[in-house]
């Protein structure tokens, strides 16, 4: 606080009041103190040491699915930080169910963990379980599947631009009827991707047709998804498909195979996936590769920054990391 | 105990002493009491209720890797039981490192969990961390990657027979030079698979040659494995490969591609994997499919059986569930 007072040329009392959000201090001064505190990585010592005392040395990673390369790579990113900090990470699987998520959070309020890194379930609408945890003083950072209504740090990928790039690529490859395959839930992600898709179409003067949008199950058991996809393909006859979730890659390939449609000749496919098998599929799959490792790492960094008592306005941290188009044969222009 | 005494026509005192392994009771009687207690699903009540009292309602799943279909399916099997029991499951990742595993176990002795389901790390030799936990009264059940030296329940797949079936299949398809690709560690699994491989060769009068065995890294970062495989293929010129771990499928396909070897024409490939993408690879991959879901479910059943206070001799439960050969184009006889 001494350093802060010196740098800003105000009294220590002013600094202290500003950081406690006291009414005695004007908004402008408060802002200046907070900004400078942030720049100097100010650590309010008593707070930090009390935190350290009640520490369980454990954080929770709450995710919907484990059979997913995105999440396994994100966990590797998280653990690269957790290991440095000499912490443990516990993984909680919601299986994409709000009910399971809420039940787990009840278990977490008991001080079992010091903080939480989380991707919400697709059907989570009531957020009181998350708010209860925040009120209990347990910080949360969202990654990928964020909950916009909770004021805290969020690490996302650029959903709008990813869909825009995928759609533009298919248009470049000659597609005229592009279907967007999504899953139920996650309204904010879905909205951004839809908008990116629409923008790419509009730029080429192609009219958006909601018939070209189809929603599959968020369950990884694929049988039903194959039927849904076959039905859609038979009806709409797309010449390009954007599958926005990893497990839809297999369903899409199998649906095309059962319908005797050749990829990329009859139909071109892009999938949002981090699967390492993408390169050895038949044909090799063009992907939107998300920065899973970096997202996990960044989320963990923010959480530990906060846990170490450094001054950080969590609700202002809204970080967007870019995805990348990896072009392979599934979108090749046929000879 | 009354029922047991009646059924066996002995006194309640005898039953009680036999179950406490008292020296007053002869071995034969003890054996009879224990067998009957097991058949009747005898629940020693005071023990059961004390267990219930100190319950954290949580079990730990300790596994080496998360980016692996086998483990994600096993977790689904485990959770089908955990949910029924109204428990939580926490997943601990060892990243296949003994050091991480031992550190996590220290954390687990504090009563954080009531029981553990575990696949050990490949380099775990010192088992004192596991013994400490058992001494602290926390039961452990192993699945898949078991630790033979720890006297407790073990759920395995038939490694000997799986390798025998895979090798025989390649021989049936005309292969004469079959390489066995393994990973470092797990001596008991490796031994069983080697023996199965050798037996199939011997049955056809083919001499075993240790040059045909190659060990890859257990890390899922594949770059180095591709180089190791290319080197091996160039030297030994196999016409068939058995890759015994899931992540070796991608490495093997990429190594063949880089060497311009056609699968299955130049070289046939079988892989031990539960990946759903196996069917859409180029070419579709013949697999040894392990009963991952069932193994996880059975391991959890045994653990909860024990936790509920039912009489069960954990060290005698040694369950082997069969794997299955799924034939696809990667081992097809070329036209």
Q: What are the sequence ranges of the domains in chain B? A: 2-42, 57-156+292-321, 159-290+324-331
pLDDT at A45 exceeding the cut of 50: no
Distance from CA of A209 to the nearest CA of B (A): 30
With contacts defined as CB-CB under 8 Å, which chain A residues touch B250?
A: 276-277, 279-280
Interface test with A, best of B65, B66, B110 (most A CBs within 10 A): B66
With contacts defined as CB-CB under 8 Å, which chain B residues touch A88?
A: 92, 103-104, 107
For residue B177, what are its two tokens?
């030079």
When the pLDDT of each residue in chain B is averaged and rounded to a whole number, the result is 88
pLDDT at A203 exceeding the cut of 90: yes
The domain A50-156+292-321 having CATH identifier 2.60.40.10: the answer here is no
For residue A205, what are its two tokens?
């003067």
ipTM passes above 0.95:
no
Q: Does A44 touch chain B (CB under 8 A)?
A: no
What digits encode the pLDDT tens for the residues B159-182? 999 999 999 999 999 999 999 999
Q: Are strands B178-183 and B154-157 parallel, antiparallel or unpaired?
A: unpaired
Interface test with B, best of A56, A59, A61, A66 (most B CBs within 10 A): A66
* pLDDT of B45: 47
Residues sharing a CB contact under 8 Å with residue A52, sequence separation 6 or more, in sequence order: A309
Higher pLDDT, A15 or A117: A117
pTM for the model stands at 0.80
What digits encode the pLDDT tens for the residues B181-231? 998 878 788 889 999 999 999 999 999 999 999 988 776 666 689 999 999
Report how far residue A73's alpha carbon sits from residue A81's, in angstroms, rounded to the nearest whole number: 13
Shortest CA distance from A103: residue in chain B: B88
With contacts defined as CB-CB under 8 Å, which chain B residues touch A67?
A: 69, 72-73
Size of interface A-B (CB pairs under 8 A): 87
- Residue A292 burial by CB count (10 A; 0-12/13-18/19+): exposed, middle or buried? buried
- pLDDT over 90 percentage in chain B: 54
Q: Do domains B57-156+292-321 and B159-290+324-331 have the same CATH topology?
A: yes
Report how far residue A220's alpha carbon sits from residue A186's, in angstroms, rounded to the nearest whole number: 16
What fold does the segment set A159-291+324-331 form as a domain? Answer: Rossmann fold (3.40.50)
B residues 237-256 closer than 8 Å to A (CB)? 247, 249-250, 253-254
φ, ψ of residue B135 to 5 degrees: the values are -65, -30
**CATH code linked to domain B159-290+324-331:** 3.40.50.2300
B residues 87-126 closer than 8 Å to A (CB)? 88-93, 95, 103-104, 107, 112
Q: Which class does domain B57-156+292-321 fall in?
A: alpha beta
Candidate from A57, A90, A95 with C-beta closest to B91 = A90
Report how far residue A295's alpha carbon sits from residue A141's, in angstroms, rounded to the nearest whole number: 11
* pLDDT of B111: 72
Confidence of residue A222 (pLDDT cuts 50, 70, 90): low
With contacts defined as CB-CB under 8 Å, which chain B residues touch A92?
A: 88, 90-91
Report how far residue B125's alpha carbon sits from residue B328's, in angstroms, rounded to the nearest whole number: 38
Confidence of residue A287 (pLDDT cuts 50, 70, 90): very high
| Residue B32 · residue B10 · CB < 8 Å | no
Distances (CA, A) of A138 to A112, A113, A152, A197, A295: 10, 8, 11, 38, 21
Query: B274: helix, coil or strand?
Result: coil
pLDDT at B49 exceeding the cut of 60: no
A residues 287-306 closer than 8 Å to B (CB)? none
Shortest CA distance from B80: residue in chain A: A95
When the pLDDT of each residue in chain A is averaged and rounded to a whole number, the result is 88
| Residue A36 · residue A3 · CB < 8 Å | no
| Residue A167 · residue A200 · CB < 8 Å | yes
């Amino acid at each position: 606080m001494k350093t802060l007072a010196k740098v800003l040329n105000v009294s220590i009392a002013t600094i202290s009041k500003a950081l406690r959000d006291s009414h005695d201090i004007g908004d402008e001064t408060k802002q200046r103190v907070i900004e400078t505190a942030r720049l100097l990585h100010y650590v309010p010592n008593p707070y930090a040491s009390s935190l350290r005392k009640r520490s369980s040395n454990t954080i929770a990673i709450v995710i919907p699915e484990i059979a997913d390369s995105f999440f396994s790579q994100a966990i590797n990113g998280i653990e690269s930080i957790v290991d440095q900090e000499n912490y443990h990470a516990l993984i909680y699987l919601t299986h994409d169910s709000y009910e399971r998520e809420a039940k787990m959070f009840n278990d977490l309020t008991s001080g079992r963990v010091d903080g939480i890194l989380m991707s919400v379930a697709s059907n989570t609408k009531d957020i009181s379980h998350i708010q209860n945890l925040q009120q209990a003083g347990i910080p949360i950072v969202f990654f990928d599947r964020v909950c916009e209504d909770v004021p805290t740090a969020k690490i996302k990928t650029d959903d709008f631009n990813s869909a825009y790039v995928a759609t533009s690529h298919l248009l470049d490859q000659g597609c005229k009827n592009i279907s967007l395959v999504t899953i139920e839930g996650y309204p904010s992600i879905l909205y951004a991707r839809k908008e990116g898709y629409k923008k790419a179409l509009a730029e080429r003067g192609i009219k958006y047709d909601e018939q070209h949008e189809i929603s599959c199950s968020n369950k990884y058991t694929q049988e039903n998804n194959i039927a849904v996809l076959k039905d859609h393909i038979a009806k709409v006859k797309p010449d390009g498909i954007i599958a926005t979730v990893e497990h839809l890659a297999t369903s899409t390939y199998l649906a095309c195979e059962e319908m005797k449609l050749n990829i990329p000749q009859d139909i071109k496919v892009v999938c949002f996936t981090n699967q390492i098998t993408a390169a050895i599929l038949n044909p090799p799959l063009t992907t939107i590769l998300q920065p899973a490792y970096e997202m996990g790492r960044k989320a963990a960094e923010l959480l530990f920054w906060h846990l170490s008592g450094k001054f950080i306005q969590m609700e202002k941290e809204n970080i967007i990391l870019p995805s990348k188009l990896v072009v392979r044969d599934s979108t090749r222009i046929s000879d």
